[in-house]
Amino acid sequence: EPSDEERLFDELIANEQRIEPRDWMPDAYRRTLVRQISQHAHSEIIGMQPEGNWITRAPSLKRKAILMAKVQDEAGHGLYLYSAAQTLGTTREEMMDQLLSGKAKYSSIFNYPTPTWADMGAIGWLVDGAAICNQVPLCRASYGPYGRAMVRICKEESFHQRQGFEILLTLMQGTDEQRAMAQDAVDRWYWPSLAMFGPPDDQSPNSAQSMQWKIKRFSNDELRQRFVSMLVPQAEILGVTLPDPELRYDEETGRYEMGEIDWDEFFEVLRGNGPCNAERIERRRTAHEEGAWVREAAAEYARKQRSTLVP
């Protein structure tokens, strides 16, 4: 027999209404949200690094200003998401410990290197493009603070994607060398960006329950399909080739046939063995340690404010 609280929770979910921080919720729902939202926040913060790598070397002042603004947006996304996760009763410190100790995951995609300027284009076009496909449906997530945070994040992601597209378009209209650089970046980022959506549906342990709770609205494979169907016409405009010889539209099913994603590589990256995992975590740890004085100063300031308010 479900309790009154459980019945109310189920009713809210069934009626497309939102669960708010002070509402009763099953422990497993809370755990799933903390897991997903904190991993999402970590991805935004770690995701600042591959592009941060190019701020000092952007090819013009304008490109540099745009890239700085973009990386700063990602910091903002991380902060809204940590705040959303905190409403579920987990502290920022706990989440940070989990990231630095390797207990919490962050998106596989940010463990790949950015050796050329064209990578800034490919990340914007492919990685932020994948992020939008995945995140637009999350604006309707059943947990209020998460869904609301996603609205602004998606608007900014969509701007980021166009920014990346425009970098690639400019390179594709340039010299042979620039075109080759753009194609090379697309070749390196295409498959990892498809893997961002997570394992295939029959190997995705969390999907069924998350969809029942209306946190996720579409399955991993479904979103991957949407992403590819968005990319194909855009690749044509850019004049780049998507590096999958098996990619073709099946008129009968209305779906794209695609080659096999290298899932062994994906799981190796998740285990910490991707090309840049160690470097990313080390960099974050150093930044966290070097920022200790800022946290101390902010805490001390807050303490002083309280002591003047309460005589």
Helix/strand/coil percent split, the chain, to 5: 70, 5, 25
Binding mask 134-153 for ligand ACO (x = CB under 6 A): x-------------------
Taking the complex as a whole, the smallest distance from the CB of residue 35 to ligand ACO amounts, in Å, to 5
Helix axes 128-135, 176-195, angle to 10 degrees: 30
Residue type present at position 30: R
Taking the complex as a whole, the smallest distance from the CB of residue 32 to ligand ACO amounts, in Å, to 8
Piece in contact with ligand ACO (CB under 6 A), picked from 18-26, 192-200, 250-258, 272-280: 192-200
Structure tokens at 161: 């994607």
Taking the complex as a whole, the smallest distance from the CB of residue 309 to ligand ACO amounts, in Å, to 38
| Nearest CA among 223, 208, 118 for reference residue 172 | 118
- Of 216-235, binders to ligand ACO (CB under 6 A) are 216, 220
In the bound state with ligand ACO, the residue whose beta carbon lies nearer, of 66 and 172, is 66
Structure tokens at 300: 């001390």
- Of 244-283, binders to ligand ACO (CB under 6 A) are 270
Structure tokens at 6: 């459980």
User: Binder to ligand ACO among 53, 87, 116, 204 (CB under 6 A)?
Assistant: 204
Alpha helices in 173-270 (DSSP H): 176-195, 207-212, 220-238, 263-268
For residue 311, what are the contacts with CB-CB under 8 A and spacing of at least 6? none
Q: Determine, following the binding rule CB under 6 A, whether residue 43 of this chain makes contact with ligand ACO.
A: yes
In angstroms, rounded to a whole number, what is the distance separating the alpha carbons of residues 268 and 273? 5
In the bound state with ligand ACO, the residue whose beta carbon lies nearer, of 33 and 235, is 33
Q: Is 143 helix (H, G, I), strand (E, B) or coil?
A: strand
Count of beta carbons in the 10 Å neighbourhood of residue 161: 23
Binding mask 11-30 for ligand ACO (x = CB under 6 A): --------------------
Residue type present at position 125: W
Q: Is 135 helix (H, G, I), strand (E, B) or coil?
A: helix
Q: Determine, following the binding rule CB under 6 A, whether residue 47 of this chain makes contact with ligand ACO.
A: yes
In the bound state with ligand ACO, the residue whose beta carbon lies nearer, of 218 and 256, is 218
Taking the complex as a whole, the smallest distance from the CB of residue 226 to ligand ACO amounts, in Å, to 13
Q: Residues in the site for ligand ACO, rule: CB under 6 A?
A: 35-36, 39-40, 43-44, 47, 105, 107-108, 131, 134, 195-199, 204-207, 210, 216, 220, 270
